[in-house]
Amino acid sequence: MIIQLTDIKEIKIMKATIIEIEYMPTPNATGVVFETYRNMTVFQAIAKLKRWYNEAIIYNVKAEY
Protein backbone atom coordinates (compact mmCIF):
# COMPACT_ATOMS: atom_id res chain seq x y z
CA MET A 1 0.00 0.00 0.00
CA ILE A 2 1.40 3.41 -0.96
CA ILE A 3 0.03 6.58 0.62
CA GLN A 4 0.35 10.25 -0.20
CA LEU A 5 0.67 13.25 2.13
CA THR A 6 -3.09 13.82 2.12
CA ASP A 7 -3.67 10.48 3.89
CA ILE A 8 -1.17 11.14 6.69
CA LYS A 9 -3.61 11.80 9.56
CA GLU A 10 -4.94 8.26 9.56
CA ILE A 11 -1.70 6.34 9.04
CA LYS A 12 1.12 8.39 10.52
CA ILE A 13 1.32 6.07 13.55
CA MET A 14 1.49 2.83 11.51
CA LYS A 15 4.98 1.40 11.00
CA ALA A 16 6.04 1.58 7.36
CA THR A 17 8.74 -0.47 5.65
CA ILE A 18 9.88 2.37 3.40
CA ILE A 19 9.12 6.07 3.71
CA GLU A 20 10.18 8.59 1.07
CA ILE A 21 10.00 12.29 1.91
CA GLU A 22 10.35 14.96 -0.77
CA TYR A 23 11.45 18.23 0.80
CA MET A 24 13.40 21.45 0.44
CA PRO A 25 16.04 21.68 3.22
CA THR A 26 15.71 25.45 3.69
CA PRO A 27 13.17 27.98 2.40
CA ASN A 28 15.75 29.54 0.05
CA ALA A 29 17.21 26.26 -1.29
CA THR A 30 17.33 25.87 -5.06
CA GLY A 31 15.82 22.39 -5.38
CA VAL A 32 14.04 19.52 -3.69
CA VAL A 33 15.71 16.51 -2.05
CA PHE A 34 14.47 12.97 -1.44
CA GLU A 35 15.19 11.22 1.85
CA THR A 36 14.37 7.55 2.46
CA TYR A 37 13.69 6.03 5.86
CA ARG A 38 13.04 2.37 6.67
CA ASN A 39 11.04 0.58 9.36
CA MET A 40 9.61 3.53 11.25
CA THR A 41 6.36 5.45 11.38
CA VAL A 42 5.73 8.45 9.13
CA PHE A 43 5.60 10.61 12.26
CA GLN A 44 9.07 9.37 13.36
CA ALA A 45 10.52 9.93 9.88
CA ILE A 46 9.25 13.52 9.73
CA ALA A 47 10.55 14.17 13.27
CA LYS A 48 13.97 12.80 12.30
CA LEU A 49 14.07 14.97 9.17
CA LYS A 50 13.04 18.08 11.13
CA ARG A 51 15.85 17.44 13.64
CA TRP A 52 18.42 17.87 10.86
CA TYR A 53 16.52 20.48 8.82
CA ASN A 54 14.20 22.36 11.17
CA GLU A 55 13.20 24.78 8.39
CA ALA A 56 12.51 22.02 5.85
CA ILE A 57 9.47 22.45 3.64
CA ILE A 58 7.89 19.04 3.04
CA TYR A 59 6.20 18.62 -0.33
CA ASN A 60 5.27 14.97 -0.42
CA VAL A 61 5.45 11.83 1.68
CA LYS A 62 5.09 8.31 0.30
CA ALA A 63 4.95 5.35 2.65
CA GLU A 64 4.90 1.68 1.78
CA TYR A 65 3.29 -0.76 4.20
Q: What is the pLDDT of residues 9-65, one digit of tens each?
A: 666 677 899 999 999 999 899 999 999 999 999 889 999 999 999 999 888 888 888
pTM of the predicted model as reported, rounded to 2 decimal places: 0.79
- Alpha-carbon distance of 42 to 60, in angstroms, equals 12
pLDDT at position 31: 92
Nearest to 49 by CA among 30, 25, 28, 65: 25
pLDDT at position 65: 83
Which comes out higher in pLDDT, residue 64 or 8? 64
